[in-house]
Amino acid sequence: MRAARYLAAMAVLTAAAGPGGAPASGQQHEGHMMATDSMGPVWRMPPQPIPMPMMLPGLMGAVPGVTPYLPDPGHDPAMLPEAVFRGVVEMADGDTLRLEAGFVRRTIGMRTFTMYGFNGQYPGPLIRVPQGAEIIVLFTNHIDLPTAVHWHGVRLENEFDGVPGVTQDPVEPGESFVYRVYFRDAGLYWYHPHHREDIQQDLGLYGNMLVDASAADYYGPANGEDFLMFDDLLVDEGGLFPWGREAAVQTLMGRFGNQLLVNGEPRWEATVRRGEVRRLYLTNVANTRTFNLVPEGAEMKLVGADVSKFERESFISNVVLAPAQRYIVDARFDEPGTYALLNPIQAIDHFNGRFYPQTDTLGIVTVLDEPVAEDHGDAFSTLREHADVIEDIDRYRPEFDRPVDHELELTVRVGDLPSDIVAVMAIDTLYFPPVEWTDAMPMMNFLSTSENLTWILRDVRTGKENRDIDWRFAVGDVRKIRIHNQRRSFHPMQHPIHIHGQRFLVLSKDGVPSDNLAWKDTVVIPVGSTFDILLEASNSGRWMAHCHIAEHLEAGMSMVFTVDPG
Amino acid sequence: MKQLAGVIGAAFGFAIILGFAITLGSLVSGEARAAGPSEVPAPAGPVPWADAASRVGTMPRAGTCLVTPEVVPLSGTQSAPGSRGSMTLTQPGSPFEITVDDGGFQTFDLEIQVDQLRHRRGAVYVAWAAKPELDEWVRLGTLDEENRLTGRVAWNQFLVFVSEEASADVERWQGPIMLTGLSPSGRLHTMAGHGPFEAMNCQLYF
């Protein structure tokens, strides 16, 4: 039955896309200038976070050895449709969604840019489905680059995972692909391209998916929900700062933006009643930036992570959200007033050798004096224990003490980076904090590309790296994987490691066992740390595992493993 | 012109060193202006590296042991020449895998182990941590009979020092400073020098 629906959808989509249904490829429009990006695709020095020398003396005027790229619709960008704020698409088992990646005109603050959008929206449509549902997605590519859609965290059939080169061919401009997406687990997920995502995701191709559990009391009571997708965009006086066409640039630290965004807007705004409990669904869709979220005026309770709830709820003061990660948090606003959602970090000033505080305001919440009609204060102050999660994890506890099955080391190899940079980095990176919150060395980052720098997943036991690694499991296998982020390398940095198609538990960090588990699909490994994770191989096929810093992925940091049918 | 720039640079460098030395001197003599002790929460659970504290120079290497806690030396001051010890830093657990507080400061569990220190009869040895600017400091606690101490610090850069006191009840150091150490972030070099650690011998920490 499902196969029949799938075939029918394929036929509909093929007819609908037709010839000329998409703009021509970017290759045909090289040389066009962006009306909204006044300087066009021209390399210039990247914006600097604080006053410091723009470039080492020997490197003044140096630019990456790849062609600068900006999205090119092939006609006057002013004629593009203005993107609209995302809608919610409630879907049932068997429903079909038409999803199109295309050009949009985006106004961010006072500026207008040519960007991408799913269905003309920012972010893409919020897909809401019941647990156990399967939907058909008729996807068509109307942008100027090949693409594909990855359903992040969803344990679906392998052929629909949306990874060009592993599970499918890229969807060329004007072409279509039909995805069949099965939602096995309740929770918060997101979709995004998995082909040059350093460009496409950054330009707005992302959206959330919420899978509702069948149990009405799966979560505690709340008065409302907010879906917040955190991102950043790199702009200067010339408009969008270009990406690399043939290869990714800024591969050393990833592309940090200087315009922080929540749901594609510079600021999230909400108004709530006094005593209201809001359920916050948080997703980091930035290329490389990790956020430290602090909502003023609210108590917060951590409820869930990527693929499940935690065993126990816990009160928290901040949420650290690495790229691709999701958390579900309940926030209660007790006192009337106006409060900020902040991102306070300690940035590094390498020029002066010091940390300095940097706080961005991501949102404003107005708490009215009027009390909420239905007060969930008592339920909020009670920390629930999730018996369903504990019972599920109990089946795996006997495996917690098993020997390590596989070990991965995270490191980097330098190619032909300019020797001045290599020399300076050797002095300037003798110390690295566990996390880089900003681009502290933009001029060095600027010149690194996926051609002169390789980020590495190394199998410690075999010495194999990245795509040469060939792990093989069978459905039902449970394996302990140790991941170590090597601090003694050219440029150590945190890595959010995402494993496709499966779920895992974070058993320990630096030898300290986790005391409150949740199923995850992405774990961030700070510099110098070692994590043990327990992988449940539950889904057959060839799957990717990789760093979710988009530029690190482009610079090689990925591997493929196979799960054979049990 | 170059000579003038050199003179100005040297004078600036000297001023930094002098300023640092004066501040450090007042710290040692107990005259630093301090904002007072902050709360130091006890570490949650046992410190994982209590039995694995390595000495500098024998840092575990990938391939033999993938887990690499930060271990930095504590060095004797002029008041306690020849004294030495170490400070082992680990990051506490967190549901977010990265452990920072709501100010964005990295949180560290630390274990101080003093290996060599000539004890004065009746004296107690108290460990402290201070921010590089010395405008904030915390009392970490008193070394136990095995010259060990565990604590938690939520700063990115900090000094650790051990003072010799007549009583364990001191709210701030009064006796001489016996050992000092610097958080690993002291390795944070700059294009302009060593920043607030201009006067420190950074080679000590490599």
Tell whether the model's pLDDT for residue B62 goes beyond 70.
no
Q: What is the pLDDT of residues A360-382, one digit of tens each?
A: 999 999 999 999 999 999 999 99
Question: Are the C-beta atoms of A504 and A468 separated by less than 8 Å?
Answer: no
Give the residue among A183, A171, A172 at the shortest CA–CA distance from A210.
A183
Separation CA B49–CA A511 (nearest Å): 9
pLDDT at B122: 93
Question: Are the C-beta atoms of A439 and A349 separated by less than 8 Å?
Answer: no
Task: pLDDT band for A4, please (50, 70, 90 cuts).
Answer: low
Task: pLDDT band for B198, please (50, 70, 90 cuts).
Answer: low
| DSSP-based three-state secondary structure for A201 | coil
Of A256-265, A295-304, A415-424, the range with the lowest mean pLDDT is A415-424
| DSSP 8-state class, residue A284 | E
Residue count of chain A, please give it.
566
Which residues in chain A touch residue B69, judged by CB atoms under 8 angstroms apart?
A: 510
**Better-scored residue on pLDDT, A176 or B188:** A176
Question: Closest-CA residue in chain B for A483?
Answer: B66
Nearest to A514 among B48, B93, B100 (CB): B93
Q: Which residues share a beta bridge with A547?
A: A497
Question: Are the C-beta atoms of A232 and A438 separated by less than 8 Å?
Answer: no
Instruction: Please provide the DSSP assignment of B14-61 as one string.
Output: HHHHHHHHHHHHHHHTT------BPP-PPPSS--TTTTTPPPTT----
pLDDT at A51: 57
Tell whether the model's pLDDT for residue A219 goes beyond 70.
yes
**Better-scored residue on pLDDT, A32 or A400:** A400
Tell whether the model's pLDDT for residue B25 goes beyond 90.
no
Q: What is the pLDDT of residues A10-35, one digit of tens each?
A: 444 444 433 333 333 322 333 333 33
Helix (H) or strand (E) holding A552: helix A550-554
Of A3-12, A105-114, A232-241, the range with the lowest mean pLDDT is A3-12
Contact status of B98 with chain A (Cβ, < 8 Å): yes
Task: pLDDT band for B185, please (50, 70, 90 cuts).
Answer: confident
Q: Contact A512/B104, CB-based, under 8 Å?
A: no
Task: pLDDT band for B192, please (50, 70, 90 cuts).
Answer: low
Which residues in chain B touch residue A497, judged by CB atoms under 8 angstroms apart?
A: none
The pairing of strands A126-130 and A207-212 is parallel
Of A54-68, A158-172, A292-306, B171-185, the range with the lowest mean pLDDT is A54-68
For B:11-40, CB contacts with A below 8 A are none
In angstroms, the separation between the Cα of residue A159 and the nearest Cα of chain B is: 31
Provide ipTM, 2 decimals: 0.85
**Better-scored residue on pLDDT, B119 or A457:** A457
Question: Are the C-beta atoms of A364 and A296 separated by less than 8 Å?
Answer: no
Long-range CB pairs of A60-64, under 8 A, 24+ apart, other chains included: A62/A418, A62/A447, A63/A446, A63/A447, A64/A244, A64/A249, A64/A446, A64/A447, A64/A448, A64/A449
Question: Are the C-beta atoms of A202 and A248 separated by less than 8 Å?
Answer: no
Tell whether the model's pLDDT for residue A397 goes beyond 70.
yes
Tell whether the model's pLDDT for residue A342 goes beyond 90.
yes
Separation CA A557–CA B168 (nearest Å): 52
Of A43-52, A138-147, A259-268, the range with the lowest mean pLDDT is A43-52
Q: Contact A409/B62, CB-based, under 8 Å?
A: yes
Separation CA A253–CA A257 (nearest Å): 12
pLDDT at A165: 96
pLDDT at A87: 98
Give the residue among A413, A203, A225 at the shortest CA–CA distance from A303.
A225
pLDDT at B193: 53
Tell whether the model's pLDDT for residue B102 goes beyond 90.
yes
Tell me, what amino acid is at A262? V
> Where do the H-state alpha helices sit in A377-534?
377-381, 387-394, 419-428, 442-447
Task: pLDDT band for A487, please (50, 70, 90 cuts).
Answer: confident
CB-based burial label for B107 (10 Å; 0-12, 13-18, 19+): middle
Tell whether the model's pLDDT for residue B89 goes beyond 80.
yes
Give the residue extent of every domain in chain B. Answer: 2-205
For A:278-297, CB contacts with B below 8 A are 290, 292, 294
Give the residue among A257, A244, A241 at the shortest CA–CA distance from A40.
A241
Which residues in chain B touch residue A438, judged by CB atoms under 8 angstroms apart?
A: none
Q: Contact A510/B69, CB-based, under 8 Å?
A: yes
User: What percent of chain A has a predicted confidence (pLDDT) above 90?
Assistant: 78
Nearest to B106 among A318, A434, A488 (CB): A434
Q: Which residue has the tokens 């950043």?
A: A232
pLDDT at A375: 97
Mutate to test the interface with B, among A55, A291, A292, A505 (most CBs of B within 10 A): A292
Q: Which residues share a beta bridge with A277?
A: A332
Please report the domains of chain A, with CATH numbers, ordered by start residue. 2-33+72-212 (2.60.40.420), 224-394 (2.60.40.420), 397-564 (2.60.40.420)
CB-based burial label for A258 (10 Å; 0-12, 13-18, 19+): middle
pLDDT at A535: 98
Question: Closest-CA residue in chain A for B202?
Answer: A430
Of A163-172, A407-416, A536-545, the range with the lowest mean pLDDT is A407-416
Tell whether the model's pLDDT for residue A36 goes beyond 60.
no
Mutate to test the interface with B, among A59, A529, A530, A533 (most CBs of B within 10 A): A529
Averaged pLDDT, B83-107: 92
Tell me, what amino acid is at A229? M
Of A239-253, A363-377, B61-75, the range with the lowest mean pLDDT is B61-75
> Can you say how many angstroms the Cα of residue A373 is from the centroid of all Cα atoms in its chain?
36
The pairing of strands A239-240 and A319-321 is unpaired
Tell whether the model's pLDDT for residue B23 goes beyond 70.
no
Separation CA A438–CA A443 (nearest Å): 13
Separation CA B80–CA A76 (nearest Å): 75
pLDDT at A48: 78
Instruction: Please provide the DSSP assignment of B128-158 as one string.
Output: EEE-TTSS-EEEEEE--TTSEEEEEE--SS-
Separation CA A520–CA A523 (nearest Å): 7
Q: Which residues share a beta bridge with A139?
A: A99, A177
Tell whether the model's pLDDT for residue B41 goes beyond 50.
no
Task: pLDDT band for A500, please (50, 70, 90 cuts).
Answer: very high
Of A90-94, A157-161, A419-423, the range with the lowest mean pLDDT is A419-423
Alpha-carbon distances, residue A512 vs A14, A394, B92 (angstroms): 53, 19, 8
Tell whether the model's pLDDT for residue A187 goes beyond 90.
yes
Tell whether the model's pLDDT for residue B32 goes beyond 70.
no
Task: pLDDT band for A559, please (50, 70, 90 cuts).
Answer: very high
Averaged pLDDT, A31-57: 64
Peptide bond into B60 cis (omega under 30): no
| DSSP 8-state class, residue B185 | G
Task: pLDDT band for A420, please (50, 70, 90 cuts).
Answer: confident
Which residues in chain B touch residue A461, judged by CB atoms under 8 angstroms apart?
A: none
